[in-house]
A and B are shown apart, each in its own frame.
Chain A
Amino acid sequence: MLEASGILLVVDPRRAPSLERMLRPVHRWVWRDAHRCARKLMTFAATEADGGRDLSRAAELTGDPLLRRLFLRHALDERRHAELLRARGRTMRAGLGAGGGALEWRWLTPGERGRDDLRVEEEGDASLLAFLHLSEKVAAARFEIYRDVVADEETRAVFRRILRDEEFHMRYTRIQLERVAPERHRRALWRARAARLWKGYLRVASALAGRLGTIVLLAQYFLVLPAFALLAKRAARRERPGWSEPERRERPDALRSQY
């Protein structure tokens, strides 16, 4: 429910972004597979741990004592979340046999699962708080959906515990944003939204560029390299195992060469 002050106190699934709500059946399908579920929990644990490190760095960089204390508390929460998720993931893995080759797309660069694309050094207090507020809001909405769609009660309890902290995180980031930027907090939030969109575009673009690069390099590999590969293999056969003489480069300008 949203309070009059605009501070989200309780995460309401009906408030989750509409795209997320539309994707609920997909989430349900994703979390149905136990192997995939365990893997996802371990990935979330790593992301939360990364987020905790970013927050501790933010605490080290801010000049505002209250923010420092809050960021440190937030960092501790993230670490606790990481431990909870990891412990649950491990328990699930232990109960599963080998295998688990369920379909999973991993072609996007990491990011936006948490704060792992955040450059804390480049952010001021206001922009960081705005970014954190939006991230926490999105994460809380997602965790709310995950809590509802997971099949087992233990995993649901983990999400429930995390959600309690996320509420505090959303609340303090919003209140502190209004404190450190009383005139500019709305602008800071809009800029953070725009930055999230831009980063999303960059992630998709770099993933596509990466794929394209791989295709071009693979084409070169199979079309251009075979003849050279033959020569390289022939040369390798002539090499004796054991010690080699280092190539002597005793000319005075040896250090000028990159080769």
Chain B
Amino acid sequence: MRILGISAHYHDSAAALVVDGVPVCAIQEERLSRRKNDSAFPLAAVAWCLDEAGLEPSDLDAVVFYEKPMRKLERILVTSLRAFPASWRSFPQAMKSTLGEKAWVKGVIASRLGVPARKILFTEHHQSHAATAFLACPAREAAILTADGVGEWATLTVGRGSKARDGACAIDLLRELRFPHSLGMFYSTFTAFLGFEVNEGEYKMMGLAAYGEPRFADRVRAILRIAADGAPELDLSFFDYHRSGRRAWSSRMEEAFGPPRSPDDPLDPGTPDGKRLADVAASVQRVLEDRLVELARALRRESGLSDLCLGGGVALNGCANARILRESGFERVFVPPAPGDAGCALGAALYADRIHFGRPDRAVPDHAAWGCPVDPGELERLAREDGLALELAQSDAVLLDRVAEELAHGRIVGWMDGRCELGPRALGNPSILAAPGSAETRDRLNREVKYREEFRPFAPAVPAEAADRYFDLPPGGARLCRFMSGVFPVRPEWRSRLGAVTHVDGTARVQVVDAETSPRFHALLLAFGARSGIPVLLNTSFNLSGEPIVARAIEGYSTFRRSGIDLLAAGRCIVAKTRAGGVGLEREAAS
């Protein structure tokens, strides 16, 4: 059975293909369109998935959309009505946006893909999140917690999933929290208040939180309180996202926390105003973590299960995930590589396969590399055409040794290996790598490569067998770090030697690399360790500010040429920059 999953129209659209119960490929539209967070209908992603599997749209047994569009339209309409007349400004915007393509998804899919309407299915938004988290994880039975901004009505669900011995799967969502009460909207509102872009700047707020003290925590707790039945509840008088289209917070927020930051203003946690903003971030982060831990504890008591699957955009909060693992009582916490809406394409397809069609459970390969592969031959051709220094290594071992040597000398390396990953993390297939030791490297990366705020931390990658030596991982921590989903302390004795990846609070968002699923990246870490004494590398996403992560050799090459990356490696091909002057190029252009 061939099932195509699609997520689209809000942020990060994607397509995923499941054949006979096993994912074959999945990719975000942005990786192909090269528009960051592309939310358009993922036509390129669908076409690539079908090409990759050698299928025509007519070969598909079902196309599954990741949410119920009419139910979503109902929520938007009812929310406008409830806020009448304050919603007069947001109503036309919402209607124009929704009544365009969003409400007519069935027709759009049928016409663009040429599949009959009877083959088109719709899961619920949080069912898709739950399926991404549970059906792709190795646990047979697990509690499920999903939380994001909003789907149709639900913003948070708790439930349980099971995979019986005969392969029958079940996902039972027990209860839900409904819009406008939402942990995701709570966090996003503060993200916007601090001047960061919503759906993009949440990481920045988490990074900024480490610079602050949670001195506003009591005020934030009064805003995100607990209802009598234990559900999180927002004091809506602080918010405006459910009423007006102008901004997400009300004037009460400014009374409580001071003026918001303009996105164009610089942010320096060393200044008094920067410190205030960092304190707000720290307070919001603390309260979000507390509420999530309380929810997880209650779910643990109720379910009696040892495993927890987390889904939804809130599951990208690595600090919260780490506290859930430490404090909730669950022995293992699973977070998929793409817990946000992009991953829902995969979740929707798996849900249809296991639950709707009732097909038996199949083990899902435990990695994130479902995207398009890199062609080293293309990089070789580009380097030759542009007259760059090109090296072709005789063997993998020679290449790894060479790259490790360059890294040990403080060079920044663009590393492309295999297929690009689904989700927001670069997990070592396309990644920018550097030595983890010096803060100087970190500053150079921020200044010449990533062009981003100095307060944002970089992540370390470490082989699974060495992780405990450098990082203070609790039981189950290595699993959570498989897809860089947890933030844990760097052991104090290593902090000075891991300066580029140790955040100001002594923590790091660790990636634990398994030799079985990432053999080359694992071998590179060991090769670097053999030279430097520490098998840890700084691993950051292979993209420039405002651009999606690279997927193909040409995009890696273009990024390499436009940034301070010293070396680019793909397959057995290594390309280095030469000192070609701009004057030469001008002469060439004018000839």
Contacts and interface: CB of A to CB of B under 8 A. Distances in A.
B562 A76 contact: yes
Interface residues of B, number: 62
A208 to B, nearest CB: 14
A93 B264 contact: yes
Interface string B123-159: 1100000000000000000000000000000100100
B264 A244 contact: no
A213 B94 CA distance: 12
B585 A73 contact: yes
A229 B77 CA distance: 10
A245 interface: yes
B176 interface: yes
A255 B231 contact: no
B81 interface: yes
A75 B92 CA distance: 37
A233 B176 CA distance: 21
A213 B95 CA distance: 10
A128 interface: no
A176 interface: yes
Interface in B545-591: 546-547, 554-555, 558, 561-562, 582, 585-586, 588-590
A74 B266 CA distance: 27
Contact of A90 (B71, B176, B264, B546): B264
A244 B227 CA distance: 12
A226 interface: yes
Interface in A237-259: 241-246, 249, 252, 254-259
Contact of A257 (B64, B122, B451, B586): B122
B161 interface: no
B64 A255 contact: yes
B71 A259 contact: yes
Contact of A60 (B231, B554, B586): B554
B41 to A, nearest CB: 16
A257 B122 CA distance: 7
A154 B554 CA distance: 38
A175 interface: yes
Interface in A38-81: 42, 49, 53, 56-57, 59-60, 65-66, 68-70, 72-73, 75-76, 79
A1 interface: no
Contacts of A259: 68, 70-71, 74
A246 B178 CA distance: 10
A218 interface: yes
Contact of A255 (B121, B174, B262, B451): B121
A259 B68 CA distance: 6
Given A70-B589, A242-B228, A225 B178 contact: no
Interface in A204-224: 210, 213-214, 217-218, 221-222
Given A76-B562, A221-B91, A241 B266 contact: no
B546 A65 contact: no
B122 A255 contact: yes
A228 interface: yes
Contacts of B350: none
A65 B231 contact: no
A259 B561 CA distance: 49
A232 interface: yes
A78 to B, nearest CB: 10
B469 interface: no
Contacts of A229: 81-82, 84-85
A114 interface: no
B264 A242 contact: no
A172 interface: yes
Interface string B224-241: 000111110100000000
A236 interface: yes
A242 B233 contact: yes
A6 B74 CA distance: 60
B230 A242 contact: yes
A73 B181 CA distance: 48
Interface string B75-105: 0001011101100100110011000000001
B274 to A, nearest CB: 13
A218 B81 CA distance: 13
A65 B227 CA distance: 63
B219 interface: no
Contact of B92 (A56, A73, A218, A231): A218
Contacts of B589: 66, 70, 171-172, 175-176
B231 A241 contact: yes
A173 B157 CA distance: 55
A31 interface: no
Interface in A64-105: 65-66, 68-70, 72-73, 75-76, 79, 86, 89-90, 93
A142 B589 CA distance: 25
Contacts of B92: 213-214, 217-218, 221
B315 interface: no
Given A217-B95, A241-B231, A241-B233, A258 B81 contact: no
A258 B106 contact: yes
B255 interface: no
A246 B157 contact: yes
A222 B87 CA distance: 11
Contacts of A56: 547, 558, 562
B175 A243 contact: yes
Contacts of B175: 243-246
Contacts of B176: 243-246
A247 B517 CA distance: 40
A231 B70 CA distance: 20
B393 interface: no
A93 B195 CA distance: 15
Contacts of B80: 221, 225
A255 B356 contact: yes
26 contacts: A56-B562, A65-B386, A68-B382, A69-B386, A90-B265, A172-B586, A217-B92, A217-B95, A221-B84, A225-B81, A233-B82, A236-B82, A241-B231, A242-B177, A242-B228, A243-B175, A243-B176, A244-B175, A245-B175, A245-B176, A246-B175, A255-B121, A255-B352, A256-B122, A257-B122, A258-B70
Given A257-B122, A258-B68, 14 more contacts: A60-B558, A65-B386, A168-B586, A175-B590, A225-B81, A226-B84, A229-B81, A229-B84, A233-B84, A241-B228, A242-B228, A246-B175, A255-B356, A259-B74
Query: Which 3 pairs across A and B sit closest by C-beta, in order of nearness?
Result: A229-B84, A232-B81, A242-B227
Interface of B: 34, 64, 68-71, 74, 78, 80-82, 84-85, 88, 91-92, 95-96, 105-106, 121-124, 154, 157, 173-178, 181, 227-231, 233, 262, 264-266, 352, 356, 382, 385-386, 451, 546-547, 554-555, 558, 561-562, 582, 585-586, 588-590
